[in-house]
């Protein structure tokens, strides 16, 4: 059974595995609905999408019409201006056919100029706060990618009391000493502030060898595929603290990820993480 944990200070008991809807934009409706139903049947009760995931929000609509009351629904806006974010939220509601969602997140807020705009008087954050005041959303979060994201999230939490953060957390990236230091500081800050922490790319192996291969893939990074490797990658992430893991957009490994998080292999037992990393060729890349 997928373990559950309170999602930060929200009070919601979320599955430790969060369904990441990024892959829904590249599949047909039948497959999308079946995949969502499969995740729910296995104990996933927290679903995360974004306005920029193609038509993923629309693909979720039939599923949501049947299960809205049973799940924690999160989406994101990539708009940085007040008006842009306000319109983005309304579009997301229409696309998913819902009246509200639990969590709205500023999507990939890492670049300095975008960060400053989003937090200005005419920035996206004001639109998110208004949506919360109107009862359209309950909580506000921030997400990001790359080696600068942990430091930027620390700055974001100093600017506003976000309810959640999302960033990459995997063995390979944490071999970068500066990133590891920033992540450690961020995790401690989130613990003090009771901020929910979402980990992405936990099953990442590295970048694809070429753009041609990437274009034919189901994820923009290469994932681990063997169950034993996924077991260890998930266990490593769970050992990092009270993290929630967002599933990969490559749904071919969704069942393996669910199995891994359900059994939670102890990463300190019978495993040499350095040798495992070297044998797999895990890359310390900015993905």
- Give pTM, 2 decimals: 0.92
β-strand pairing of 204-206 with 222-223:
antiparallel
Residue with tokens 């990658």: 233
**Residues forming beta bridges with residue 72, ordered by sequence position:** 46
At the top level of CATH, the class of 4-280 is: alpha beta
- The whole-number pLDDT of residue 222 equals 78
Q: How far apart are CA 80 and CA 24, in angstroms?
A: 24
pLDDT in tens, 192-230: 999 999 999 999 987 756 655 455 556 777 789 999 999
pLDDT category of residue 95 using cuts at 50, 70 and 90: very high
Of 79-93, 108-122, 191-205, 263-277, the poorest mean pLDDT is in 263-277
Length of the chain: 287
* Residue among 56, 67, 71, 68 nearest 22 (CA): 56
pLDDT in tens, 101-125: 999 999 999 999 999 999 999 999 9
- Does 217 or 52 have the greater pLDDT score? 52
Q: Which two tokens stand for residue 151?
A: 């430091």
Q: Report which DSSP code applies to 271.
A: -
**Contact 12/102 with Cβ under 8 angstroms?**
yes
Q: Provide the residue ranges of all domains of the chain, joining segments of one domain with +.
A: 4-280
Q: How far apart are CA 237 and CA 225, in angstroms?
A: 17
Q: How far is CA 73 from CA 31, 38, 48, 81, in A?
A: 20, 16, 6, 23
């Amino acid at each position: 059974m997928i373990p559950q944990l309170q999602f930060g200070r929200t009070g919601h008991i979320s599955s430790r595995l969060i369904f990441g809807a990024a892959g829904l934009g590249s599949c047909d409706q039948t497959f999308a609905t079946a995949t969502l139903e499969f995740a729910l049947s296995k104990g996933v009760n927290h679903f995360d999408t974004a306005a920029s995931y193609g038509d993923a929000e629309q693909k979720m609509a039939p599923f949501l019409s049947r299960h809205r009351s049973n799940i924690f629904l999160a989406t994101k806006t990539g708009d940085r201006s007040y008006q842009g974010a306000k319109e983005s939220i309304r579009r997301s509601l229409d696309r998913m056919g819902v009246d509200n969602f639990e969590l709205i997140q500023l999507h990939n807020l890492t670049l300095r100029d975008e960060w400053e705009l989003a937090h200005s008087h005419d920035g996206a954050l004001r639109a998110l706060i208004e949506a919360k005041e109107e009862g359209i959303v309950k909580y506000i979060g921030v997400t990001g990618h790359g080696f600068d994201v942990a430091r930027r999230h620390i700055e974001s939490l100093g600017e506003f009391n976000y309810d959640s953060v999302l960033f990459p957390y995997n063995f390979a990236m944490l071999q970068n000493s500066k990133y590891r230091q920033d992540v450690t500081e961020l995790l401690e800050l989130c613990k003090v502030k009771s901020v929910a922490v979402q980990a992405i790319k936990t099953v990442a192996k590295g970048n694809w060898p070429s753009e041609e291969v990437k274009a034919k893939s189901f994820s923009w990074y290469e994932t681990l595929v063997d169950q034993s490797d996924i077991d260890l990658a998930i266990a490593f992430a769970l050992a990092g603290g009270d993290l929630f893991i967002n599933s990969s957009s490559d749904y071919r490994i969704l069942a393996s990820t669910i199995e891994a998080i359900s059994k939670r292999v102890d990463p300190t037992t019978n495993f040499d993480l350095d040798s495992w990393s070297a044998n797999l060729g895990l890359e310390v890349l900015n993905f």
